[in-house]
Amino acid sequence: MAVRFAVLGDSMAAGLGVDDPAELPGVVLATGLADELGTPVRLETFAVPGATSRDLASQVDRVVAEPPDVALVIIGGNDVTTRLSVAESAVLLGAQVRRLREAGVGVVVGTCPDLGTVRPIAEPLRSEAREWSCWLARAQRVEVERAGGVAVALGDLLAAEFHARAADYFSRDRFHPSAAGYEAATSVLLAPLCGVVRHEWWPR
Residues annotated as catalytic are 11, 173, 176
How many CB atoms sit inside 10 A of residue 185's CB? 25
Least Cα distance to 43 among 58, 33, 56, 53 occurs for: 33
Distance (Å, whole) CA 200 – CA 120:
41
> Measuring CA to CA, how many Å separate 73 from each of 2, 13, 140, 174?
20, 7, 11, 22
Length of the chain: 204
Least Cα distance to 79 among 9, 159, 173, 26 occurs for: 9
